Chains A and B, each alone.
Chain A
Amino acid sequence: MSTMNATPKPTKLLRMEWWRWRMTPGKGLLLALFAAAAVVAVIRLFLGLGATTGLNDSMPWGLWKIFDVVVVVPLGATGFVMAFIRYFTPGGERYEYLNRRAVIWAAIMYLSMGVRLAFDIGIPWRIINPIVFGGNLHSPLFEIAWCVALYLIVLFFENISRVAEEQKRPWVKRADHLLHKILPGFVLVGVLLSTMHHSSLGTLFMITGKRMDPLWYHPWLNYVYLLTSIATGMAMMMVLETLTSRYYKLKFETGLLARLAPWVAGILSVVLIWRLGAMAAEGQIHQIFVPRVETALWWGEILLGYVAPIAILFSRARFTQKGLMAGGLLTVLGMIALRLNVGFTALMGALNAQYTPTIPEILFTVGATAGTVVIYTWFVETLPSILGPRKQETERLEAVGD
């Protein structure tokens, strides 16, 4: 636009290089899985859900809903939790670069979830119909659809500065400056939308009421999901930082992350006590000693996903990278275990369902997840200001090892 009257600007003003991404054997492997998932997706499109998945009338929601939506969304909770810390808490500026990683990761997770969900629903091209043509305000799923769609817009504005920082054009600088002024507003909207859809992901399962296995029945499953999502937002950051700092030879922000650790452990403690309390209030606490397969799964979830990370993240181990990595990873795994236990163990009991995911079904989930990791590396390498302040204009980012 500004080139209309002036002489055409020399292209070197654009410091953006679009292809800085480097292929490595590790990324190649992930890409191969991603490609396999794409093949499954195409087959599913032509042959339908019955031919590709283990879904049937007894079990309407399988891996593609329970993992690719209900688990993937909280994996992206980094975005709203870290942005909240960065913009609203005292001394939040120190979290600037952690937040940059958090919001790009969140954007990738949410977009990936949207695409995966499209293949899960019966008629993929109708995925945005409920938003375009209106839907049903009473449906928690409709609420999630709206929140996620709007939150994607927020994530766009939270990330676009990384692209702007690669450019020298004055109007880009001005626009970016303006954006920074109003960004807290976007962050606020993002936080509000997130509290809504993270809790609604739990609301989804409340429709089964007490048909749900007593080990996972909770009168306020929505808040259990919201709280574990918040904990996961910080815990996933610990995991993401461990991997990112190792892979790109960055400093691991032990101090900053250690400050989050007691909050993660605190939230997990509250959830654990509330879950046990709710079971006791229902008169079902004895269930944790009834010898069943479900009981073993429950104990596994509670010990590895709550007790262990609470112990690690409250202890002095939180001041070490290993401690943060272990505590973070266990928290994330505990979140996943809760989602899978509610979505499969408890739900299949409630519906008296038969379901075994097929190989293509699993391949799709694994491959799509592998794809998100590759896409993350693509963004990090293409937009190096995600990792830290830019020193030189044309420095090349070295991806080292796998």
Chain B
Amino acid sequence: MTYGMLIDLSKCMGCRGCQVACKQWNDLPGEETSLGTDFTNPQKRSAYTWTTIDFLTAEVNGRTVATFTKSGCMHCLEPACESVCIAGAIKRQENGAVTIDHDKCIGCRYCQLGCPFGVPKYEYDKPVPRMQKCTLCYDRISEGLEPACAATCPSGAILFGEREELLALAKQRIAEGNGRYVDHVYGEHEAGGTAVMYISSVPLDLTTLNTGVTTESVPGFTWKAMRQLPALVGGAAVLSLGLMAYSNRRARLEAEQKGGGEA
């Protein structure tokens, strides 16, 4: 069974309760922050801040609109991070949570490069660092609880449940909303489908969601090359052995010719 979250951005009021709850439950230290052009704070996610409310202010038709986007790991159905991890430290668990085993991770940081959403963050400031990201509160959901952010959200913007049900609910809300929502469930197909999905009443490019992301399954990008390795090796073996046989034969013929001439 795949659990997931449906984030209804139209219900988010930007209180950052989820951001605080995440820190609290996961025992993440506070960070020294500074203010940027909007109210996102800290301005970026890090190894110590796994989710943020991203504030975005924009002018639309002369009106100023402010949007809030909850950011974090999408818990892909086919995670790129898992597929590239050299150590097998990243696993998509049966319940849909994508987690990192710190005892296995060697710190190659390939997952950071592979994730199309830029999610995994590294403790670069530590001599013995860990790769960190949202775990979908794997520890909580294994015990039948909701993730800390979903449990906290006062406006019901973060719903936790089975992905299939949430997807149906998202579509139902869009259908019954009479145009209130943008007709797009973000995460249904993005990166080959994700367990965390979004619906929004403002156009998605007014949110901080990555609208340019591929809808293909990302692990396939490298797998298409990896799966050809047996053929490549076979071809190289045939070429090497064939050429060696030819060279040996030529050497033998040359030797015979020489021998024959002298006799």
Residues of A bordering B, CB below 8 Å: 45-51, 55-58, 60-61, 84, 87-92, 121-123, 126-127, 129-130, 133-136, 138-143, 145, 184, 188, 191-192, 195-196, 199-200, 202-204, 206-211, 220-222, 347, 351
Point out the residues of chain A lying under 8 angstroms from B241, CB to CB: 188
8 Å CB contact of B125 from A46, A48, A184, A204 = A48
Given contacts A347-B113, A351-B118, contact A56 B222 (CB under 8 A): no
Give chain B residues whose Cβ lies under 8 Å from the Cβ of A139.
83-86, 88, 110
Q: Which of B5-13, B196-204, B232-240 contacts A (4 or more CB under 8 A)?
A: B232-240
B residues near A135, Cβ cutoff 8 Å? 85-88
Determine whether the beta carbon of B104 is less than 8 Å from that of A129: yes
In whole Å, how far is A130's beta carbon from the nearest beta carbon of chain B?
A: 5
For A122, give its contact among B122, B221, B246 (CB under 8 Å).
Answer: B122
Q: Please name 27 pairs of A and B residues whose Cβ atoms are closer than 8 Å in the assembled complex, sorted by A.
A: A48-B127, A49-B124, A60-B110, A88-B247, A90-B247, A90-B250, A92-B247, A121-B107, A123-B107, A123-B128, A135-B86, A136-B85, A138-B84, A139-B110, A140-B222, A141-B86, A142-B87, A143-B226, A188-B237, A195-B232, A195-B236, A203-B222, A204-B222, A206-B225, A208-B113, A208-B221, A209-B214
Cα(A191)–Cα(B242), bound, Å: 14
Query: A48-B127, A222-B225 in contact; A90/B86 too (CB < 8 A)?
Result: no
* B114/A207 in contact, CB under 8 A: yes
Is the pair B113, A196 in contact by a Cβ cutoff of 8 Å?
Answer: no
What is the total number of residues of chain B having a CB less than 8 Å from a CB of chain A?
57
Q: Which residues of B contact A121 (CB under 8 A)?
A: 106-109
| A57 and B110 form a contact (CB under 8 A) | no
- Tell me the complex Cα distance, A138–B128, Å: 26
Bits for B204-241, please: 1 = Cβ < 8 Å to A, else 0: 00000000001010110111111011001100110011
Q: Which residue of B lies closest to A92 (CB)?
A: B247
How distant is the Cα of A129 from the Cα of B3 in the complex, in angstroms?
32
Q: Interface code B17-44, partner A: CB below 8 Å = 1, 0 otherwise?
A: 0000000000000000000000000001
In the complex, the answer to whether A122 meets B106 with C-beta atoms within 8 Å is: yes
**Residues in chain A near residue B105, CB distance under 8 A:** 122-123, 126
Other A-B pairs beyond A55-B109, A122-B131, A207-B80, 11, CB < 8 Å: A47-B127, A51-B125, A60-B110, A88-B240, A90-B247, A126-B105, A140-B225, A191-B240, A192-B240, A206-B221, A207-B218
Contact, CB under 8 Å: B106 / A203: no
Shortest distance from the beta carbon of A61 to any chain B beta carbon, whole Å: 6
Does the CB pair A89–B124 fall under 8 Å? no
A72 → chain B closest CB, angstroms: 16
Asked if B112 contacts A60 (CB within 8 A), the reply is: yes
Q: Is there contact, CB below 8 Å, between B113 and A351?
A: yes
A138 touches B129 (CB 8 A): no
B87–A207 touching, CB < 8 Å: no
Binary per-residue interface labels of chain B (59-99) against chain A in the complex, 1 for a CB within 8 Å, 0 otherwise? 00000000000000000000010111111100000000000
B247 cross-chain contacts in A, Cβ below 8 A: 88-92
Residues of B near any A CB (own CB < 8 A): 44-47, 80, 82-88, 104-110, 112-114, 116, 118, 121-122, 124-129, 131, 214, 216, 218-219, 221-226, 228-229, 232-233, 236-237, 240-241, 243-244, 246-247, 250-251
Consensus secondary structure, chain A interface: helix
Given contacts A129-B106, A138-B226, A141-B108, contact A210 B236 (CB under 8 A): no
- CA gap between A51 and B123 in the complex, in Å: 11
Which B residues touch A57, using CB under 8 A? 44-47, 112, 118, 121-122, 124
Q: Decide if A60 touches B104 in the complex (CB within 8 Å).
A: no
Query: Is A130 touching B87 in the complex (CB atoms < 8 A)?
Result: yes
Cβ A211 vs Cβ B236 within 8 A:
no
> A211–B80 Cα gap in the complex (Å)?
14
Residues of chain A contacted by B128 (CB below 8 angstroms): 48, 122-123
Nearest CB on A from B55, distance (A): 19
Tell me how far the C-beta of B115 lies from the nearest C-beta in chain A, rounded to whole angstroms.
9
- Find out whether the CB atom of A89 lies under 8 angstroms from the CB atom of B114: no
Which residues of A sit under 8 angstroms from B246, Cβ to Cβ? 90
**Alpha-carbon distance between A141 and B88 when the two chains are bound, in angstroms:** 11
CB pair A145–B237 under 8 Å, yes or no, is no
Most buried by B among A57, A143, A145, A207: A207
User: How far does the alpha carbon of A173 sit from the alpha carbon of B112 in the complex, in Å?
Assistant: 52
**A47 CA to B123 CA in the complex, in Å?**
12
Closest B residue, CB atoms, query A118: B106
Cα–Cα distance between A48 and B128 once the two chains are bound (Å): 7
CB pair A49 B129 closer than 8 Å: yes
CB distance from A201 to the nearest CB of B (A): 11
Q: Closest 6 A-B residue pairs measured CB to CB?
A: A122-B107, A50-B124, A60-B112, A60-B109, A136-B88, A126-B106
Q: Which residue of B lies closest to A90 (CB)?
A: B247
In the bound complex, residues from chain A placing their C-beta under 8 Å from that of B251 are: 90
Closest residue on chain B to residue A194 by CB atoms: B236
Flag if B116 contacts A211 (CB, 8 Å). yes
CA–CA, A112 and B86, complex, Å: 20
Task: Give the residues in chain B near A141, CB-CB below 8 Å.
Answer: 84, 86, 108, 110
Query: Roughly how many angstroms separate A76 CA and B124 CA in the complex, as a whole number?
Result: 30
Residue of A at shortest CB range from B236? Answer: A195
Report the bound CA distance from A126 to B129 in whole Å.
12
Q: Known: A122-B129, A130-B87, A220-B225. Contact between A192 and B233, CB under 8 A?
A: yes
Closest to B248 in A: A90
